[in-house]
Amino acid sequence: MSEVAKQLQQRRQNVWEQAKALADKAAEENRTFSGEEEASWTAMNSELDALDRRIKAVIEGEQRAKDAEDAMSRLRGEPRGKEQPKGGPGTGGGEELRAFLRGEGPRAFDVRPDGPVSFRDLSKATSGAGGATVPTSFYDRLVSHMIETSSILQAGATVLNTASGEVLQVPKTTAHSSAGIVSEAATISESDPAFGQVALGAYKYGTMIQISRELLTDTGVDLEGYLSMQAGRALGNAFGAHAISGDGSGKPRGILTDATAGATGPTGVTGGFGSQSTAGQGADLLIELFHSVIAPYRASSSCRWIMNDGTAGTIRKIKTTEGQYIWQPSVIAGTPDTILGKPVLTDPNVPDVALSAESVIFGDMSQYFVRLAGGVRFERSDEFAFNSDLVTFRALMRADSALVDLTGAVKTFTGGAS
Report domain extents, the chain.
1-81, 85-175+194-418
Q: How far apart are CA 237 and CA 242, in angstroms?
A: 9
Confidence of residue 264 (pLDDT cuts 50, 70, 90): very high
Average pLDDT estimate for 37-65: 81
What is 84-99 written as a DSSP string?
PP-SSTTT-SSHHHHH
Which distant-in-sequence residues (6+ apart) come within 8 Å of 28 by Cβ? none
- Tell me the average pLDDT across 41-48: 86
pLDDT at 207 > cutoff 80: yes
Quick one: CATH architecture of 85-175+194-418?
Alpha-Beta Complex (3.90)
Q: Does residue 397 register a pLDDT over 80?
A: yes
Whether the per-residue pLDDT at 116 is higher than 80: the answer is no
pLDDT at 312: 94
Pick the most confident of 62-71, 150-159, 190-199.
150-159
**Quick one: which H or E segment has residue 256?**
helix 255-258
More confident residue, 377 or 189: 377
Q: Is 33 exposed, middle or buried (0-12, 13-18, 19+ CB in 10 A)?
A: middle
The residue that leads in pLDDT, 404 or 70, is 404
Distances in whole angstroms, Cα of residue 249 to Cα of each of 98, 196, 201, 203, 339: 38, 18, 12, 11, 34
Write the pLDDT tens digit of every residue in 287-339.
999 999 999 999 999 999 999 999 999 999 998 878 889 999 987 777 889 99
pLDDT of residue 29: 81
| 200 vs 85 pLDDT, higher one | 200
Residue 121: name the closest of 107, 136, 110 by CA: 136
Instruction: Tell me which DSSP letter residue 253 carries.
Output: B
Q: Torsion angle of alpha carbons 316, 321, 322, 327, nearest 10°?
A: -20
Q: Which of 143-152, 185-194, 218-227, 334-343 is most confident?
A: 334-343
Residue 112 is predicted with a pLDDT of: 63
Please tell me the distance from the alpha carbon of residue 22 to that of residue 189, in angstroms, as a whole number: 60
Query: Across residues 373-402, what is the average pLDDT?
Result: 88
For residues 313 and 344, give the distance between their C-alpha atoms in angstroms, rounded to a whole number.
12
Quick one: what percent of the chain has pLDDT higher than 70?
A: 77
